[in-house]
Amino acid sequence: MADEMDEIINEFVTEAEETLEKIDPMFVELETKGYDKDILNEIFRGMHTLKGAAGFLGFQQIVDVAHRAESIMKRLRDGEVALSREMMDVILKSVDTLRLLIFHIKLKDGIEEDTSELLKALDSALETAAAGGVIQEKAEVEEERQIEVKVEKVEDKGKEIEEKVEVKVEEKSEPKPQPKPKPKSQHEPVVEQITKEREVVSTLRVDVSRIDKVMDLAGEIVLARNRLLNLASKLDMSYSGDPHVDGLLETTGFLDRVTSDLQLAVMKMRMQPIQKVFGKFPRMVRDLSRNLGKDIDLEIFGEDTEVDKTVIENIGDPLVHIIRNSIDHGIESPEKRQAKGKPPKGRIIISAYQKGTMIVIEVSDDGKGIDVESVKKKALSKGLITEEESQRMSDDAAINLIFLPGFSTKEVSTELSGRGVGMDVVKTNVAKLNGYVEVITKKDVGSTFKISLPLTLAILQAMMVRIGDEYYAIPQSMIEETLRVKKSDIKDVTGQRVLTIRGKVLPMFEMSDVLGVRRKSEIDHDNSYVLVATVGDRRFCISVDELLGQEEIVIKTINGIESEECGILGATITGDGKVVLILDLAVISRGIFRTSK
């Protein structure tokens, strides 16, 4: 019985969290639009459902708060009161409190919040709004009287001056007969009910841990599949034409297709729309911009883009830090913007989209941009770089200094920023997701933070390469193409090796030099295997000793190794049973470009 009750409460918590997540951005939209009956209806229904479910389970504090908030929404919906900013503040506070109360239920800690002040504030907001409505009506009557007096004065003066005052009177048309509402079929509610039941049956809530378990098992099947494919291929080379080997090849081919389908199906089970993350930002931008005395428009695109569950869980914090920095550092005050010839209202755009095998999330603002020289000076004063490094440091490299722990250009820290923690969190969390961040900025025009993340985090396509005696895997998402070029095609330009590909000159690096691996003496010195890599807007070539082909790999984390420090994403087991390291080209490229300057 206890387990059954726990299940019911867990179900309530999940639905309550989803309801609040759904209606939270609607409040900001409502405040912007002023009045929207559809939005008001949606919020009202959410509050009403939450109140009803909480009442059934005896969560009285939630019932009290939701009931008052619901009453306000009802009066707003019916047009009895007008929405004010103060009223919105109280309503949003009630949403925060509801979220907190639900959190306590989720933790089962038995803690009750003191909601007395909030309940008084909600009651007061409703009374004030109701009084305001009456005052408004009185004001309208007074205004009508004043107009009558003015008309009388004009009529008196009209005897003395020869001016004609034309008063346009609109002819009041007879109201058109309204068509009688069509009587509702008695079967309609039944149809609705059946439809709802079908919808309920078509979805199923599954514990996330169960999906994770299936994902882990799918990963193991992928490794076993790779091993079988490799063995079958070797047997085919040794015993070609043997009927048993032919049967084995047929079976492994079927297993290959089924494994790929299974992997895709499990991957889709973990995918969720990124709206779950984006949904909280309208409220955040509204509150922060108001606190800082700024006026900011927020636009969101690509909310339906689906990303892995792990991304949903980990991308929220980096985005919060970027947006907070955009509001505090980037967007100027209305006065400063006007002085620069900009509109007083700032603008932040958040968007998500899929690009190949990557998910890209962008946060752009039309603020003052990042002052590269200011960043260099600050880094110099903190001893993070030397004077010589500052002189020869490129703009891109200088901008990347903002991601260093403890770095901030702000002289005085505030609640929002200035402690040099935020951007460090961005870089660290994105790296944990096997992604990378780019910054595109222009002074007085604005900044764009572009986060690129792999579509899947557990299983990915990789290019297997050999460097010296060691084998490595490189995620295919970062490789644009592979080439075999003659050594004579590689030129030296002012100390930097370059390779020209279809008219484009790209910097060229030896992976054995980058990793400090000794090359084999028997390698072909006349030809070179080259990977053309793309990391953000940066394109470059890396030569390796041998290309072994593509393989679907499962990432296994290595405890104690951070990708940001050594450029190793993790390890995997190849089809022939070898354990190989997975290289992180995003980190490696930062290192080689920094040292090549």
Q: Residues 14-39: pLDDT tens digits?
A: 888 888 888 888 888 888 777 788 88
Place of tokens 């929405």: 83
| CB-based contact 106:76 (threshold 8 Å) | no
Instruction: Look up residue 330 and give its DSSP letter.
Output: I
* Domain end point (choices 80, 114, 131): 131
Residue 145's CB: how many other CB atoms inside 10 A? Answer: 9
For residues 371 and 464, state if they share a domain.
Answer: no
- Rounded Cα distance between 9 and 53, Å, is 10
152-to-155, 165, 436 alpha-carbon distances in Å: 5, 12, 74
How far apart CA 271 and CA 268 sit, in angstroms, is 5
In CATH, what number is assigned to the domain containing residue 432? 3.30.565.10
Q: Does a structural domain hold residue 313? A: yes
Phi, psi (5° rounding) for residue 349? -120, 125
Q: What tokens does 120 get? A: 């008084």
My answer on whether 506 and 385 are in the same domain is no
Q: CA 212, 218, 222, 224 torsion: positive or negative?
A: positive
> Quick one: average pLDDT of 382-399?
79
* Domain match, 434 and 505 both: no
- CATH number for the domain spanning 501: value is 2.40.50.180
Rounded Cα–Cα distance for residues 553 and 211 (Å): 19
Task: Kindly report the CATH number assigned to the domain that includes residue 18.
Answer: 1.20.120.160
Q: Are residues 394 and 443 in the same domain?
A: yes
Nearest to 356 by CA among 483, 464, 219, 452: 452
Same domain? 389 vs 502? no
pLDDT confidence bin for 173, thresholds 50/70/90: very low
Distance between the two ends of the chain, CA-based, in angstroms?
68
Give me the residue label for tokens 């084999």.
520
pTM greater than 0.75 (yes/no): no
Whole-number Å distance between alpha carbons of 481 and 533: 7
Name every residue whose Cβ is closer than 8 Å to that of residue 369 and which is 6 or more positions away in sequence: 330, 441, 442, 443, 444, 445, 446, 447
User: Is 537 within the bounds of a domain?
Assistant: yes
pLDDT at 253: 92
Are the beta carbons of 375 and 399 closer than 8 angstroms? yes
Average pLDDT, the chain: 79
Residue pLDDT, tens place only, 112-139: 888 888 888 888 887 776 665 443 443 4
Model confidence at 595, pLDDT cuts 50, 70, 90, reads: low
For residues 469 and 388, membership in a common domain is answered with no
Q: Exposed/middle/buried for 383, CB within 10 Å: 0-12, 13-18, 19+?
A: exposed
Same structural domain for residues 488 and 350?
A: no
Q: Per the domain annotation, does 29 fall within a domain?
A: yes
3 vs 355: CA distance, rounded Å? 45
**Are residues 469 and 432 part of one domain?**
no
Percent of the chain with pLDDT over 90: 12
Same domain, 557 and 444: no
Q: What domain range includes position 525?
A: 457-593
Question: What average pLDDT score do residues 254-273 get?
Answer: 87
Q: What is the pLDDT of residue 168?
A: 42
Residue 73 lies in a domain: yes
CA 61 to chain centre: 33
Q: Which of residues 131, 156, 187 is at a domain's end? A: 131
- Does residue 558 lie within any of the structural domains? yes
Q: Are residues 74 and 36 in the same domain?
A: yes
Beta bridge partners of 466: 471, 546
User: If you compute the radius of gyration of the chain from its CA atoms, what whole number of angstroms results?
Assistant: 32
The answer to the question of residue 212 being in a domain is no
pLDDT of residue 417: 55
Helices (H), 159-187: none
Strand order in the sheet with 296-301: 296-301, 346-355, 358-365, 446-454, 436-442
Residue-wise pLDDT for 450-503, tens only, equals: 998 877 666 778 899 988 888 999 988 788 899 888 888 888 887 788 888 888
Is the domain of 448 the same as that of 461? no
Judging by beta carbons within 10 Å of its beta carbon (0-12, 13-18, 19+), is residue 358 exposed, middle or buried? middle
Within a domain: residue 237? no
In a domain, residue 230? The reply is no
Looking only at the bridges linking them, the beta strands covering 527-535 and 538-544 are antiparallel
Count how many domains the chain has.
3
User: Among 111, 131, 151, where does a domain finish?
Assistant: 131
Residue 538, beta-bridge partner list: 535
Are both 352 and 442 inside the same structural domain?
Answer: yes
